[in-house]
Amino acid sequence: MNRLDPLTLEPTLSAAKKETYEVSASQLFIDQRDEPYSLFVPQHYEPNYKYPLVVWLHGPSDNELQLKRIMPLVSTRNYAAVGPRGTLAEDHDNGSGGYAWSQSEDHVYLAEQRVFAAIESASRRLNVEPDRIFLAGFESGGTMAVRIALSHPRRFAGAITFGGEFPRGHAPLRHLRDARRLPLLLANGLENPNYPESQVCNDLRLFYVAGLSVTLRQYPCANDLTTVMLSDMDRWIMNIVCPEPVSDDQGI
């Protein structure tokens, strides 16, 4: 399993392959200097085709540019993508900074505004299928992705969290009837200290009682984001976008 550092998310590639990756990836992004988000353009973009849109909420101590390191490892062709900046500025003792996604009520509201503004901007620039918008994120970004999707279940085709716990507080299941139709992918490391297996099991009981449609995938790692996880994300989304037909001999 290829591991990506949870903060920098640099792929574990050889020097030669890394150079090719950086050149090809740089051709797939629109410069957004005046706006707090990054926009990913699919390779061989076809303006007459409506693309699924991935909205990526970066992990802690990072920013919207994390999208540039994520999407080439998910798929260069299947999706358009946009990554808004987190709502909480961080400043560490070592001088490093970045942004995170606070779960306080005012920051949740601000995060919703940023997500929907980013979707609107991406839809102006690219041909996006409005019924195929997916929210995904890493750690606190994953928690926020699930929270916003559950709060607006009719606006999204699915939500994915990598190592981010199920949101708590501020009534995340207040739209439960509509939320039951929303596919969720919960991906987590078996040794994740921030979201231990005991808490995952408790959340699974909640999902069952609430009737949510949740797929759980666990990986032999800690609070990491790996290339295998991102490949699984691609397959999970494509199974929703292009579901396999049911054969005549299968029961209903």
- Residue 13 forms part of a structural domain: no
- Residue 252 forms part of a structural domain: no
Query: What's the total number of domains in the chain?
Result: 1
Q: What percent of the chain has pLDDT over 70?
A: 81
Query: In whole numbers, what is the pLDDT of the chain averaged over residues?
Result: 86
Contacts of 77 (CB under 8 A, 6+ apart): 42, 43, 44
Question: What gap in Å lies between CA 107 and CA 24, rounded to an integer?
Answer: 35
The domain that holds 126 is classified in CATH as: 3.40.50.1820
32 pLDDT tier (thresholds 50, 70, 90) = low
Contacts of 251 (CB under 8 A, 6+ apart): none
Bridge partners, 40 (sequence order): 29, 81
What does residue 203 show for φ and ψ, rounded to 5 degrees?
-65, -35
Question: What gap in Å lies between CA 231 and CA 2, rounded to an integer?
Answer: 11
Written as six digits, the tokens of 100 are 């995170």
pTM score, two decimals? Answer: 0.85
- Say what the pLDDT of residue 251 is: 41
- Residue 179 forms part of a structural domain: yes
- Say what the pLDDT of residue 130 is: 97
State which residues form the domain around 191: 34-241
Write the pLDDT tens digit of every residue in 51-101. 999 999 999 999 999 999 999 999 999 999 999 999 999 875 555 569 999
- Say what the pLDDT of residue 125 is: 94
Q: Is the pLDDT of residue 252 over 70?
A: no
Question: How do 51-57 and 37-40 pair as beta strands?
Answer: unpaired
Question: What gap in Å lies between CA 250 and CA 178, rounded to an integer?
Answer: 28
Measured in residues, the chain has a length of 252
- Residue 16 forms part of a structural domain: no
Question: What gap in Å lies between CA 155 and CA 186, rounded to an integer?
Answer: 19
Residue listed under structure tokens 């037909």 = 245
Q: What is the DSSP string of 77-120?
A: SS-EEEEEPPSEEEE-TTS-EEEE---SHHHHHHHHHHHHHHHH
Q: Is the pLDDT of residue 113 over 80?
A: yes
Contacts of 224 (CB under 8 A, 6+ apart): 3, 4, 5, 6, 163, 189
36 pLDDT tier (thresholds 50, 70, 90) = confident
Write the pLDDT tens digit of every residue in 142-201. 999 999 999 999 999 999 999 999 998 888 899 999 999 999 999 999 999 999 999 999
- Residue 24 forms part of a structural domain: no
Bridge partners, 137 (sequence order): 57, 161
- Say what the pLDDT of residue 87 is: 94
Report helix, strand or coil for 207.
helix
15 pLDDT tier (thresholds 50, 70, 90) = very low
Q: What is the mean pLDDT of residues 98-123?
A: 95
- Say what the pLDDT of residue 1 is: 46
Q: Is the pLDDT of residue 14 over 90?
A: no
What does residue 223 show for φ and ψ, rounded to 5 degrees?
-90, 65
Q: What is the mean pLDDT of residues 10-15?
A: 33
- Residue 22 forms part of a structural domain: no
Contacts of 68 (CB under 8 A, 6+ apart): 25, 29, 38, 40
- Residue 9 forms part of a structural domain: no
- Residue 28 forms part of a structural domain: no
114 pLDDT tier (thresholds 50, 70, 90) = very high
- Say what the pLDDT of residue 152 is: 97
Q: What is the mean pLDDT of residues 18-40?
A: 58
